[in-house]
Chains A and B, each alone.
Chain A
Amino acid sequence: MSFIEEVIKSLRENIREYGMFIALFIIMLVFTIATDGLFISSRNIVNLVNQTGYIAVLAVGMTLVIVIRHIDLSVGFLAGFLGAVAAIAMVSWNLPVAVVIPMVLVLGILAGRLTSFLVADLGIPAFVATLAGWLGYRGALQLATRATGTIIIPNDAFNAIGNGFIPDFFDIDVLPGIHKFTLVLGLLSIILFIFNQIRNYARMRRQNIEMTSTGLFILKLVLVSTLIGGISWILAGYQGLSWTAVVILIVVFLYHFVTTKTVLGRHIYAVGGNPEAAELSGINVKRITHVVFGSMGMLSALSGILFAARLQSATTTAGNLFELDSIAAAFVGGVSAAGGVGTVVGSLIGALVMTSLTSGMNLMGVDISYQYIARAIVLAAAVIFDVTTRRAAK
């Protein structure tokens, strides 16, 4: 088999995994051409990443909720409400940021546990239970902001989460205007990635596990390294890695680790694949439900913090439609509505696809009505792609 044939074969076999990466690449390419390179400019990409932040963290949590066959409609206004709580805690109660953030995250977990109490312990369908949450948190947000209207957050440290950038520790004279520390981080990730891949590859070779050819393996290394390098270079061209990007990376890394390497992750997917079988195998399905909704609540709080920090204020409509954006991101990223299928990284890509669409069409000056229709088509196409490739695989 020639190398080209093997590449094509691998693409065909793993089309479901690579599909969304290819989609993201094509969307970015099209917008870059359509906007004469404005789309791929450092400033726009940094902005795009920061815009994706509060949806991406929700999409990560929503992935697990949908994997265990539930849904959470309350996350948007819960995020908005907890963002307002954070603002009030800093402005009216004069609490320091270091206290406010953990406090709000814990409140998020408690809110998630309230949902899972309704869903797991009382057996109320998640759709209904979280619809009630949607109404309730919307009311709570309006109550919290009624006295003052929009609450301006004067705290620089807090606002940096949504607008700030990591400092450049290598502020030397080479490459002026380029964020050196971001480049160093990018380089480190590439080295770490290659090292890790080679170690895995060697182990698989030792154990004689079926695997790809060396040529394809090197191609994958080169492609991913180029991607990381390219993104680092683009980000470094503006002000470097934003704190929002750091938050996204930490959340995605943690959740990717938990879902792929730990017993908890295995149990979550087992519950999603067959709840009865999971229960019979001794997996505590209720406990998994509590954990997943608890994590969703915590990520809602994080989303609220990111959004409030980005606007440097808590508004009366914060969180509006976040739930639908994050659900759409998860589905675009390959999560299956039937449960049991979907990855955290996929949902991050899904979120990036959706924000890229908005950002690109904004740059092109596309009317907002057409923007919604375009996003509808992408969402539908993603799910159609998912369903047909799944059927073909059987």
Chain B
Amino acid sequence: MGDAVDIHTVVEMINIKKSFGAVQALRGVDLTLHHNEVLGLVGDNAAGKSTLMKVLSGAYIPDAGKILINGMKASFTNPMDARRLGIEMVYQDYALANNLDVSANVFMGREVVTIKAGLLGVMNYPYMEQETRSLLNRLKIDISSVRQKVERLSGGQRQAVAIARATAFDASVIIMDEPTAALSVAAIDKVLELIRELKAQGASIIVISHRLEDIYQVSDRMIVLRQGRKVSDTPVEGDIHEFRERVVAYMIGARDDFTEKAIS
């Protein structure tokens, strides 16, 4: 029984601490992500959401605590380490090169070559373009040509490309930092649709968002952080108004499920 649970736990972060100078950004946070689960991560500004996810994606090295990926202890020193273990992060500003086309962005840093010669390897354009095309089709992303430059795409399409890129290489965990910020209402719906599609295809996803209705729509479970601590870890359920009130209560500190643990 215990083994079965472990297999279904993709990510386990235990007692993660991280300080920047005198500021304690994370004061011992635990986070568990199950297989094929969408986990919402919410909290006020400076609650530690992004810091926690940057620790998981290898961008920050934690001061204390440990990370288990599929039950194995992992230590990352840079984003490439995390990526090798299947952890992909979609950054808030998309992290795309606008001067390159869609296919080039999807394969950025992982170009497929016909002739292997390190940096002088000759790229396999047809393969990368076909792969990108089928990836976009699989995720039902509406972009007419994979040769379109990213600067010509709308905000929603760019976010879709950023997400598609994260999923292109068999990622086991996809972290999305504010995927719906700075998008139009129609584009937000598309992105939420895409998250559901990814879940349907078996991905495990962590979504950071300050838009509670987005979390409510796509997440199975939700963690609230406040001042570098976890204050709530509950399934997403009930109607939206009740949900919103509950979350806000945690965010402003009116409720706290983990006070005792924090003191000890």
Contact = CB atoms under 8 A, between A and B. Distances in A.
Interface of A: 203, 207, 209-210, 258, 261-264, 266-267, 269-270, 272-274, 276-278, 280-283, 291, 340-341, 393-394
Contacts of A276: 95
Contacts of B110: 281-282
20 contacts: A207-B130, A261-B122, A262-B119, A263-B118, A263-B120, A263-B121, A264-B119, A266-B100, A266-B108, A267-B119, A273-B100, A274-B96, A276-B95, A277-B97, A277-B108, A278-B97, A278-B108, A280-B79, A282-B80, A283-B108
B199 interface: no
B52 to A, nearest CB: 18
B217 interface: no
B201 interface: no
Given A278-B109, A281-B108, A269 B100 contact: yes
A262 B123 contact: yes
Contacts of B100: 266, 269-270, 273, 340
B95 A280 contact: yes
Nearest to B118: A263
A262 B118 CA distance: 9
A4 B151 CA distance: 30
Nearest to A257: B122
B101 to A, nearest CB: 10
A272 B151 CA distance: 14
Given A272-B99, A274-B96, 20 more contacts: A203-B126, A207-B130, A258-B120, A261-B123, A262-B122, A263-B119, A266-B100, A266-B104, A266-B111, A267-B109, A270-B109, A272-B97, A273-B98, A274-B95, A277-B108, A278-B108, A281-B109, A340-B97, A340-B99, A394-B151
Contacts of B118: 263
A87 B129 CA distance: 50
DSSP majority for the A interface? Answer: helix
B113 interface: yes
B8 interface: no
Contacts of B91: 277, 280
Given A258-B120, A282-B110, A207 B126 contact: yes
